[in-house]
Structure 1
Amino acid sequence: MNSTSALPHILKQLTLGSFLWMVAAVIAARMTTAVIKSVFTFLAEKTPPRWRIRILGWMPIARLAVVLATTAFIVSQLIVPSWQNVVALTAGAGLVLSFALKDYGSCLLAGVVTIFERTYQPGDWVEVKGAYGEIRSVGLRAVRLVTLDDTEVIVPHSALWDSPIFNATSGGHTVLCVAEFFLHPDHDGLLVKQRLREVAVTSPLWLPESDVVITAEEQPWGTKYRLKAYARDSREQRNFTTDLTLRSKAVLRELGIRPAQAVVAAR
């Protein structure tokens, strides 16, 4: 009796035709994911801000569907299609990822969980491990975000399992901006609060009908004010904060209010 006949027939005989089909499938998948990214980005840029985030949120799901479909096709070219063979191959692949590719497998698993839970999605402004920026893409292995200084940061999903994620937008298109002012204690606080509010609501970048909050805190060197207002578009947050700062300084100068003086410790 042939010893090989006792082994379960799992793998198909690999032919040149099957190999070429698998290569074509990988190339087609790469091209499709690139087209998906381009189309979703184009549509997001052409729609109002409230729809932009929703469109971008579906991009990782569409790309994941392409990856799963390609993987299923390649597997069908390698193994005999049966429930037992699929379970055996899945278990074997799981063992390989668990031991030989532990970190990479952890990244993939975290990526799949992130895509379905939507902890963060393209268009969100998040802070991860000290890096703050807009998420441009969510892949299976890592998330790519671009900071306010136009620096791309690539963070593996596995690094986010035990790290806090600060999401400033959470799927929305607006973001809270804060401008701080440090003033001499000798001034009319109610007047300052009123004028700072006027600066915020008259800004062309302010989100209409949103809240404007001004807080004041006394310090040994003077009074610290924080002007909090929502930008109409999260991508304009730096311009909005700059507008609040410069126009508020001009108003405070007109009121004759001096800035706080640094306290120099006596020797």
Structure 2
Amino acid sequence: MTDETQVVQIFKTIDAAVALELLVIIAAAIVLIIAVQRALSWIGNRLQGKKRLNLLVMVPFIRLAIILIMFVVIVPLLIEPSIQNMVALLGTVAVALGFALKDYVSSLIAGIVAIGERNYRNGDWIRVGDIYGEVRHVGMRTVEVVTPDDDRVLIPHALLWNQAIFNSNNGDARLQCAADFYLHPQHDGARVRQLLEDVALTSPFLYIDKPIIVIVKEEPWGTHYRLKAYPVDAAQQFRFTSDLTVRGKTMLLQCDVRFAVVPAVPDSE
């Protein structure tokens, strides 16, 4: 039996009446989806707070339910209801779902690896590409990260296979912070270095048991100072860095230390 004969046996003959019935079912589903979306949006816009969000979140689920019901009604009109045909149809659907869900399965496997290797845990501050934030939940498919701007980002575990994951504190309550200072080259380097160490020592956010490091590097435009230290808690990193920067700049200005000025480079045509 040829493949063409098998296809003919699976699908029914579509006449004008069946075609009209299919069009009616599809049109009814489209109209119902539009009506439900508009109705729930209209109702949701007249509610406040959590009630509005709970109502609007139902829209995609209702839309999916209508589409599934439409397919359930349409399939018997197109396919002969026999065990052989159903097996063939389910096999085709299974293959299609396998291709569609391969990335999902990859993320699930990567999630098991991430949990086993403890690449990131709740409370860790990680960077994946341009995303930096605190890990709030490690799920089976994604890791939930909250950024400093309070954005919730879901990152698929599958990125483990081909992208570097930067973990700033790796399970520790503290992580290293850095404040940068760019100074004019004509100054007393030893004095500036000691001054920046004192700035870190007097910060209310400093974790005293970790070292304070001042890295000095000469650049063509001046001297780059990088003050590194640890706050008491990783969540204080931004306040700690701001405190070091503001008080460090104030102390440098009081000591008549000039900051480097780099002239703007005009855009090339």
Range into which the TM-score falls when normalised by the shorter chain: 0.5 to 0.7
* Residue 67 of structure 1: aligned partner: none
The answer for the alignment partner of 2:112 in structure 1 is 112
CA distance in 1, matches of 2:96, 2:138: 24
| Partner SS for 2:176 | strand
**Aligned partner of 2:214: which letter?**
I
Aligned to 1:140: 140
Query: Residues 221 and 263 (structure 1 numbering): CA distance in 2 closer, same or farther, change over 3 Å?
Result: farther
CA distance in 1, matches of 2:145, 2:226: 28
Q: How does 1:212-231 map to 2 (within 5 A)?
A: 212-231=212-231
Shift of residue 100, structure 1, vs aligned partner: 5.0
Gaps of 5+ in 1: 1-93
Amino acid at match of 1:124: D
Cα distance 1:95–1:206, how it changes in 2: closer, same or farther (>3 A)? farther
Letter in 2 for 1:163: Q
> CA–CA distance in 1 between the matches of 2:95 and 2:247?
61
**Cα separation, 1, equivalents of 2:195 and 2:100:** 63
Corresponding residue SS for 1:205: coil
Quick one: which amino acid aligns to residue 103 of structure 2?
A: D
The answer to whether residue 241 in structure 2 is matched with residue 241 in structure 1 is: yes
Q: Is this contact kept in 2: 1:221–1:263, CA < 8 A?
A: no
Residue of structure 2 in register with 1:102 after alignment: 102
RMSD between aligned residues: 2.2
Q: Partner letter of residue 248 of structure 2? A: S
SS at match of 2:230: strand
Displacement of 1:262 in angstroms is: 1.5
Check whether the contact 1:200–1:244 (CA below 8 A) recurs between aligned residues.
Answer: yes
CA pair 264-236 structure 1, distance change in 2 beyond 3 A: closer
In structure 2, C-alpha distance between the alignment counterparts of 1:265 and 1:119, rounded to whole Å: 42
Structure-1 residue corresponding to 2:172: 172
Q: In the alignment, what sits opposite 1:8?
A: none
- AA aligned to 1:198 is D
1:171: Cα distance to partner? 0.6
Q: Tell me the equivalent position of 1:261.
A: 261
Contact 1:97 1:104 in 2 (8 A): no
Q: Deviations over 1:123-173 (max 9, x none)?
A: 000100221110111101101101112112111111221110010001101
Q: Which runs of 4+ in 1 moved over 6 A?
A: 94-97
Provide TM-score, normalisation by structure 1. Answer: 0.61
Q: Is the 1:110–1:157 contact (alpha carbons within 8 Å) kept by the matching residues of 2?
A: yes
Aligned letter for 2:133? Answer: G
Deviations 1:88-145 (A, max 9, x none): xxxxxx9998545211111111112211221111100010022111011110110110
Aligned sequence identity (%): 47
Mapped to 1, the partners of 2:114 and 2:182 lie a distance apart of: 41
